[in-house]
Structure 1
Amino acid sequence: MKYFEKKLSVFLTTLIFMVSIFVPMNIFAAEEKKANNDVIIESIDYGYDKTFKIGYECPVTIKVKNNGKDFNGDIKILIPTKTIGFMSSNSYGGYDAYTKSISMESGSEKIITMDIKLDNYVDNLVKVYKDNKVVAEKNFKALGGSFSGTPYIGVLSEDNVNMAYTKNIAIGDSAQSVVVNFTEKDFPQIYNGLTSFNTIIISNFDTSKLSENQYDALKKWVEKGGNLIIGTGENYKKTLSIFKDDFIKGSVDGTSVIKSTKLDENGTEVNIANLTVDNSETVLEESGKGILLKSKKQGGTILITTFDLTNSAVVNSNKISDFITENIKVYGTDNILNENDNNNLFWNVESVLSTFSETNKISVKMLFSIFTIYIIFIFPSAYFILKRKDKKEKMWYAVPVLAVIFSIVIIGYIKVCGVNDKYVTSLNIINLTKDSETLESYIQFNNLSKGNNKIESNYDLQKITMDQSNNYDQGKAVPNKIKSTINLDDNSFTLNDVNVIDSNKIKGNMIRTSSGDMSLELFLKDKDIMGKVKNNTDYKIEDAFVVVKDGGVIKLDTIEPKSEKEFSLITSSIVGNLKNGPWEVVDNFFKINQGPFNKLSKKEQISESQKAEIYRMVLQNYYEKNKENYILGGLINNFNLEPIKINNKEAKQYGKNMLVTNLNTKINVESNIEINIPKEFISYSVNPLEGNFNYDSYSNSIYDNSEVEVLYELGNSFIYNSLDINFEGVNAEYKIYNKQTKTYYDIGKGNAKESINKDEINNYLNEDGQIKIIIKTAEQGSATIPQISGKGVTK
């Protein structure tokens, strides 16, 4: 019996040794707590009057009192985090800790605010540390969280009573809007603090009271996809006081009074500012005066009303809430900031960051050879040798010893291949403007050791998480360990307790000086509109593409630095259309599962599939917010990655760098030449009429008992010889406005085609170069917004 126990002991000891080689052990030391009643956490407030949007940052405000001696320490908010990654469960994996330094004099009180993501019904912890010891601790449970699709409206005004009607603004499909009234004291200082908000309204407020950080946060929020509404009118001077840079630039020629029926069906007199705003368009007029101006800023929109939104005549009008609601829907961006839709993005990012062929350094053939030698030769040889010497019982020792030797050989081979090195894979999306480039990076850390791994970079870092939900076991306790620490003082990020199955990913944002810009010139060649892209940067753009306004994607191959590239806008040059989603476009672009792709090596196929995944992800998200522009994109290999340090040592990086930007467009066409005018050349807006407004902006279609007026901007640059309009729909009917008779007349139903010759055009084209068409769908009907093409002579 003792002999068996001895053999078992040797076997288990060897087994533990083998496991320890592959799985480093790390036990979290229990935090030392100091008996101390001197430091007290008096209160913890969260959200906006106890309301917050799940999956988005909201303020957590902690009031601390120090009844003891002066001290310097830290304050941490510990948020339970779900385990994410391959083979992960929906239970908690530990805590994410947000930490900030705190310095307190004896007898003082201090209020600390941090922007944190919270979830419903979860116990969060707040701890105060002095000399690395916990001197105060308090938990709080967040209640009142709204689901991630709830529209949030932020209001900056000195007259919140007259802005109370904003609670009736309905910009969401299935939830009442949440309105948050800000002051200059509590308006967020960083962009992350604004991500909950779909719309921010500023009216009758002295914007010069905002700090530079608050202004920068507001601008970044707009560029990322937010809707900013600014009321001016008699208070235009103070409302526009902070906008002294290129963000909003223009002039005001005093004020005047008009009678508005768009705000009140009976008409009401309103004082308006006579505004001119650079790079904007007037989308609504009354009495010959602009009352609503629109300006695009990358992914977002600025809507400026020339009247004050707190004006008593406006507040008492019977259509003001509907006015704002409808114009956000028509002229604003999609009302959710896509970057926080992590449930949709996560698996795209996971796939991209895990398929870098450059990091696959282990030879499968070599590993197979080592296994074959062990299984076929070494293990049987040991058995037969011991059997021949009549010492078969020694196999108890030989098996684990050989396994250890074999493990050491495998580990040695892996280390020689460099697989255990710490390295970073990243997807970097670069958006260019004239003066700056915005860098958005999805970053994965590989082969990290257990323990603390401190990440430092110039990025504004944020952990990538799945959207919070009730998809976890609330009955389970949270493990007493910190998975990651986000230091809000120095922008560092620490990963702790790293496991192979964990998803060690963060997102980085930064804005840096632009290396140049991209522009587009439209010109004429053999009666067809051509495009010429001018690359004014030092970037070499590979697998380049242009997305035209219709959603068609044109492949341009490579664009060299400081060069020009011509392309045709004719339909035959388009590889697909994004209205139908990015999948077919990208498959045609890279010829996935076609002959040329199947002839590539395995490594090349991995690389091409990875690029295809990037293009699907970027095209889908970017096109949705930038459909009114020509878009250029492509991969750049000569991009300087931002350095990332892991434990004070710069990490090796493997990056895929995607350039995507709106093109500044110039039309350069000679006069008195007949040309074919493609449908992509004529812009339009969709305006709701009475009834429902069921509009899918991605596919440009309406459905289910909706009625809209489509306003086409043909402009006055051409003398039109003919126009063609194609209608596609089911249970849908169409009408066109005749300016001579001042009535709409029926065009047809379902699928129809309308051709207008030169003699008839003036019946429909008004003095502003516009054509109006009404589309109406039945209960189960749908219709694509028609587009106009034609021929004309340049003026």
Structure 2
Amino acid sequence: MKKFIEKNLFTALTLILALALVFPALNVSAKNKEIGKYEVKVSYGIDGKYRAMKFVPVTVDMKSLEKDFKGEIEIRVPSRLPGSYDSYSRSVNIAKGESGQAIIPVRMPETDSKFTVNIMEDGKSVLEQKIIFSNGRVSEGNLFAGVLTDDFTSLGYLSYVNYGDIQSGRTGALDTVKLDIDNIGDNHLNIDGLDLIFINNFNMGNFSEENYKSLNAWVNKGGTLIIGAGVNESKTVKIIDKSLLEIKSNGTSNKSVKLVNDSLDLTLSSLEIKNSKVKIGSQGQELVYSVEKGKGEILVTTFDLGTEPLISSKDASEIWNKLLVSSFGDMRDKYKNGGMNYNYQTENLIKNIPVDKVVNVLTLAIIIAIYALTIGIVLYIVLKKMKKRDLIWVAVPTLAVGFALVIYLTGSSTRVNDLIVNQVNIIDINKDGKGQVKGCVGVGTKYKDDVTIEKPQNIVMNFMDASNGYYGMPEEQVLDKLRVKTAYKNNNSYFEFKDSNALEMKQFEISGKEEILPKIESTFNYDGGNLNGKIKNNLDSNINKLILVSGENVWDLGTVKKGEELSIDKLEISKASGVSMYGDELASKYVDVKYNKKGDVRSEEFKNITRYGNVLQMLSSEIIFNAESKLIAITDMEVDYGIEFGKKTLSKYDTTVLVQGSEIDFKDKDGNTNFPQGYFKGVVESTAGSANEDKHSGLIYGDGEMIYSFKVNDETTILNINVNKSESRYGNQGNKGSAEYYVYNYKNSEYEKIALDSSKEITLSNEIDYSVDNKIKVKVVLKDATEGQIPKLTIKGKVK
């Protein structure tokens, strides 16, 4: 018997092993049975290179050998949810014997290197091909640059450009690839991984409207575009579309100019560029112009980038070192967050719906308690006294319906439709009243449901993902559940979510919309440390919170109703450490009052205060705040992006922030100008050792030194210089150790130590000794893992 059992067990195990070997082979055979009908070639990146944690263009070339093909090419990548994948697809129609191409931008997880290309017909995969990202990743320390030119060889020197501060170890290089118009295509995500794009000696008349839209969106998201003029200006700046850049050339002339070190004979274009400033050069000999566009920048050189004698000169590399080193830190920050503009504040704003009144748990408990007492005790006593206890069969259902109606009405403010759409909109308004709108939109379902979202063609809309970090072990997972599908159709796209959990907010970023809005009227004067002025709200909505920002100084102007005129009298600075830190202070104030019982959080003062704090923190990463004064108006103004949600009903919520320029008169009664602390921002000129600036906390860490350079505008004659330190995000808690502060004395050509602590500021005597061309330098020396605060200046002067 024993032998019989052992024999049969052995036979069973052998059969199981044979089946295990056979079935996978059958499965592979089934997946590949269509191979003979199609020829498929897959490549990724731009010229084989890509930037991790950004969108990567995947190019699929396909030939249909036996029949006409109508379907889609789908790329599947692991998502951040275990066992699930994200899909990116594009529809294709290929005639028998013909070839077609699809460029599909996908976002790969940081920890994964595999994706799958599926040829889909009638909703089924007829061919599957696994691809591995084996090489081509651009180093984090380098800038990824695309070069669009008819003469790539002449710009070969760009591959040898190195930049940065060697002493501090913050160095990098340009990692260049050759671009063509197909790379730019009709979707800015094709070039999402690029930090810079050079266009020189290339006929921009070949650009289509879709190419310009793609390039515009890329710049607005933070890209740096560099365009060469000079001898080939007829191919670039003379025919460039106004949607990208408003520029006019008044011809060229030959001049001997000094770019960095060498004097070179170059052909320069005489240019007029709207909203530009000269970045290198002087009046009559402008060399490089800069135009800020969204979060990005367009640089225009008045000379050609690929002609002699420039390309044989050391200046060819040196000028880019000079231009790019100032952008190095910002570009690294863009790389670290994946360029998706995703942060804690964004997530918090989208997930927390700004409902006017939330039902208090205590209120519900009281209603239920009253119901229980009424049904259980009161009703019995009343009916007993009336001697009509037989009415209980009528009274109980009646009371139940009545109390149910009370609960229904009590919770009516939180009741939602099929979809919840929660929008945070930022409108950056220029001098003409035209506003560029950027939005973060959350979409959630009332119940577990499928959702299809179609974006309008005139805006840019991308799915935002919090998963910039670890994804688990996707290489070993079976990916059998779709999380989100992004389908590119013609020049548009839509998003599909299967079995979306109730109230799970799907988050998107939106740009490319414009609004024409009335401006907020304002006049301000800063004198004696106080702000005075008048405001008139011309908007078609109330301003829930109005903030004035100048440099790093913040004034909270409160609430201004629609059409209201408000006078400001002797208002002190609310925060001298910037918009982000003031937003943090608002959120902290609410927490302090709520948990330390220092006030009533239900009062009007604290209504939506944490939301406004998060808005200001998010805003600081989206809008550049410099010496130009700006008004920030937080409103409930509705913005309609034209997004299609099918037949589903919506519950829509808007928090809209308007940012516009404003003017502050800094003159006192004696005619002197008084610029407050932080008006002129210090720029890190050089570092040594491991010293590092943390802009988020407002502190400096490490061992070594940092030199800050402050530039006061040329129209001001400096009368007085006060040196102080910024308040950190955590209060004045710097100097854990022995941070030392020095000011450079130009007369003696040396740094002088100053006794600076957080309780006072230092006034420099003989201010003329400490500034040359209105430039002042402060050095911070950190020893033994010191923690110090960033130096700030207060300047008093007069107009020249």
Instruction: Report the TM-score range of the alignment, normalised by the length of the smaller protein.
Output: 0.7 to 0.9
Offset, 1:789: 1.1
Superposed, 1:383-532 pairs within 5 Å as 421-433=417-429, 434-450=433-449, 452-458=450-456, 460-489=460-489, 490-499=492-501, 504-517=506-519, 521=523, 523=525, 530=532
Q: Tell me what 1:205 maps to.
A: 202
Would you say the 8 A contact 1:69–1:106 is kept in 2? yes
Instruction: Flag the 1:463–1:102 CA change in 2: closer, same or farther, 3 A.
Output: same
Q: Map of 1:544-623 to 2, 5 A cutoff?
A: 544-549=546-551, 551-561=552-562, 567=568, 572-578=572-578, 581-582=581-582, 584-587=584-587, 592-593=592-593, 598-601=599-602, 607-619=608-620, 621-622=621-622
Amino acid at match of 1:192: L
The alignment partner of 1:216 has SS state of helix
Specify whether residues 597 and 357 from structure 1 end up closer, same or farther in structure 2 by C-alpha distance, changes over 3 A only.
Answer: farther
Structure 1 residue 618, shift from structure 2 partner: 2.8
CA gap 1:97/1:143 in 2 versus in 1, 3 angstroms: same
Name the CA distance, whole Å, in 2 between partners of 1:697 and 1:312.
42
Residues 651 and 33 of structure 1: is their aligned pair in 2 closer, same or farther, counting only changes over 3 Å?
farther
Verify: 1:771 aligned to 2:775, yes or no.
yes
Q: Is the 8 A contact 1:231 1:239 kept in 2?
A: yes
Judge conservation of contact 1:534–1:565 (CA < 8 Å) in 2: yes
Distance 1:542 1:159, change over 3 A: same
Mapped partners of 2:745, 2:105: distance in 1 = 51
Whether the 8 Å contact between 2:265 and 2:309 is mirrored in structure 1 is yes
Cα 1:683/1:363, change in 2 over 3 Å = closer
Opposite residue 636 of structure 1, the aligned amino acid is T
**Equivalent AA in structure 2 for residue 273 of structure 1:** S
TM-score relative to the length of structure 1? 0.75
Letter in 1 for 2:559: T
* 1:216-231 equivalent positions in 2, closer than 5 A: 216-231=213-228
Q: Distance in 2 between matches of 1:255 and 1:697?
A: 44
2:294 and 2:278 mapped to 1: Cα distance?
A: 18
Question: For this pair of structures, how many residues does the alignment match?
Answer: 707
Change (3 A) 1:368 1:126: farther
Contact 1:56 1:340 in 2 (8 A): no
1:147–1:467 distance in 2 versus 1, CA, 3 Å = farther
Offset at 1:131? 3.1
Q: How big is each residue's C-alpha offset from its partner over 1:562-616, in whole Å with a ceiling of 9 and x where there is no partner?
A: 666565797x332352388456533477685278974133999684333333333
Do the aligned partners of residues 118 and 501 (structure 1) sit closer, same or farther apart at CA in structure 2, a change above 3 Å counting? same
Q: Distance in 1 between matches of 2:334 and 2:614?
A: 21
Q: Distance in 1 between matches of 2:743 and 2:68?
A: 76
The TM-score normalised by the length of structure 2 is 0.75
Residues 143-182 of structure 1 aligned to structure 2 (within 5 Å): 143-144=134-135, 145-146=137-138, 151-170=143-162, 173=170, 177-182=174-179
Q: Is the 8 A contact 2:217 2:460 kept in 1?
A: no
- Following superposition, the deviation at residue 108 of structure 1 comes to 0.8
Matches of 1:776 and 1:525, distance apart in 2:
30
Is the contact between residue 593 and residue 601 of structure 2 (CA under 8 Å) also seen in structure 1?
Answer: no
Aligned residue in 2 for 1:115 = 105
Paired with 2:531 and 2:363, the residues of 1 have a C-alpha distance of: 57
For residue 245 of structure 1, the aligned residue among 242, 252, 255 is 242
User: Alpha-carbon deviation of 1:413?
Assistant: 8.2
The residue type equivalent to 1:164 in the other structure is: G
The one-letter code sitting in structure 1 at the alignment partner of 2:465 is T
Going from structure 1 to structure 2, the CA distance change for 1:143 and 1:480 (only over 3 Å counts) comes to same
Query: Which residue does 1:140 correspond to in 2?
Result: 131
Aligned residue for 2:158, secondary structure, equals helix
1:303 maps to a residue whose letter is L
**Residue 194 of structure 2 aligns to a residue in which SS?**
coil
Residue 56 of structure 1 deviates from its aligned partner by 1.2
Check 1:343–1:547 CA distance in 2 against 1; reply closer, same or farther (3 A cut). Answer: same
- Classify the secondary structure of the residue corresponding to 2:448: coil
Q: Deviations over 1:98-127 (max 9, x none)?
A: 222211212110011111112464432222
Q: Which moved more, 1:603-612 or 1:209-218?
A: 603-612
Aligned mates of 2:695, 2:94 — CA distance in 1: 53
Indicate the larger mover: 723-732 or 362-371.
Answer: 362-371
SS class of match (1:312):
coil
Q: CA deviation at 1:556?
A: 1.2
In structure 1, C-alpha distance between the alignment counterparts of 2:304 and 2:554, rounded to whole Å: 42
**Does the aligned pair in 2 maintain the 1:460–1:491 contact within 8 Å?**
no
* Residue 652 of structure 1, CA deviation: 1.8
Q: Provide the secondary structure at the position in 2 that maps to 1:491.
A: strand
Q: Which residue of 2 aligns with 1:277?
A: 273
Q: For 1:229-270, what per-residue CA distance to the aligned partner results, in whole angstroms no more than 9, with x for missing partners?
A: 333333334331344537343544523322426144xx5444
Q: What is aligned with 1:735? A: 744
1:300 to partner: Cα distance: 2.5
- Alignment partner, residue 102 of structure 1: 92
How much does 1:659 deviate? Answer: 0.9
Secondary structure of 1:310's counterpart equals coil
SS of residue paired to 1:538: coil
Q: Which residue of 1 aligns with 2:24?
A: none
| Amino acid across the alignment from 1:546 | L
Indicate how the Cα distance of structure 1 residues 590 and 711 shifts in structure 2: closer, same or farther if over 3 A, else same.
same
Determine whether 1:789 maps to 2:791: no
Work out the CA distance in 1 between the residues paired with 2:300 and 2:435. 25
SS at match of 1:496: strand
Q: Is the 2:45–2:56 contact (alpha carbons within 8 Å) kept by the matching residues of 1? A: yes
Q: Secondary structure at the match of 1:69?
A: coil
**Does residue 1:131 correspond to 2:134, yes or no?**
no
Shift of 1:664: 5.5
Native 8 Å contact 2:584 2:614 kept in 1: no
Query: C-alpha separation between the residues in 2 aligned to 1:76 and 1:146?
Result: 25
Mapped partners of 2:250, 2:569: distance in 1:
41
Distance across 2 between alignment mates of 1:138 and 1:537: 56
Residue 487 of structure 1 aligns to which amino acid in structure 2? A
Whole-angstrom distance in 2 between the partners of 1:291 and 1:349 = 39
Question: What is the one-letter code of the residue matched to 2:749?
Answer: Y
Q: Residues 117 and 286 (structure 1 numbering): CA distance in 2 closer, same or farther, change over 3 Å?
A: same
Q: Distance in 1 between matches of 2:77 and 2:524?
A: 53
| Partner residue, 1:195 | 192
Deviations 1:681-734 (A, max 9, x none): 557765459999966666497985456572523333x56554444579934432
Q: CA deviation at 1:77?
A: 1.6
CA pair 628-249 structure 1, distance change in 2 beyond 3 A: farther
Specify the alignment match of 1:306 in structure 2. 302
Aligned match for 2:350, one of 329, 348, 353: 353
Distance in 1 of aligned mates of 2:129 and 2:118 = 7
Residue 262 of structure 1 aligns with which residue?
Answer: 260
In structure 2, the residue matched to 1:382 is: none
Counterpart amino acid of residue 478 in structure 1: V
After superposition, the Cα gap between the structure-2 partners of 1:205 and 1:219, relative to the gap in structure 1 and judged at 3 Å, is same
What RMSD, in angstroms, separates the aligned Cα atoms of the two structures? 4.6
Which of 82, 86, 108 lines up with 2:80 in the alignment?
A: 82
Which residue is equivalent to 2:637?
638
Q: Decide whether the 8 Å contact of 1:414 with 1:420 is kept in 2.
A: no
Runs (5+) with no aligned partner, structure 2: 1-29, 165-169, 376-403, 727-734
- The letter of the residue matching 1:446 is T
- List gaps (5 residues or longer) in structure 1: 1-31, 84-90, 379-408
Instruction: Percent identity, please.
Output: 17
Q: Secondary structure at the match of 1:349?
A: helix
> 2:41 maps to what in 1?
43
Matches of 1:149 and 1:662 in 2, distance apart? 35
Q: Any conservation in 2 of the 1:226–1:337 contact (CA below 8 Å)? A: no
- 8 Å contact kept, 1:74–1:102: yes
Cα distance in 1 between the residues matched to 2:646 and 2:130: 31
Is the contact made by 2:149 and 2:201 (CA closer than 8 Å) also made in structure 1?
A: yes
Matching residue's letter, 1:215: Y
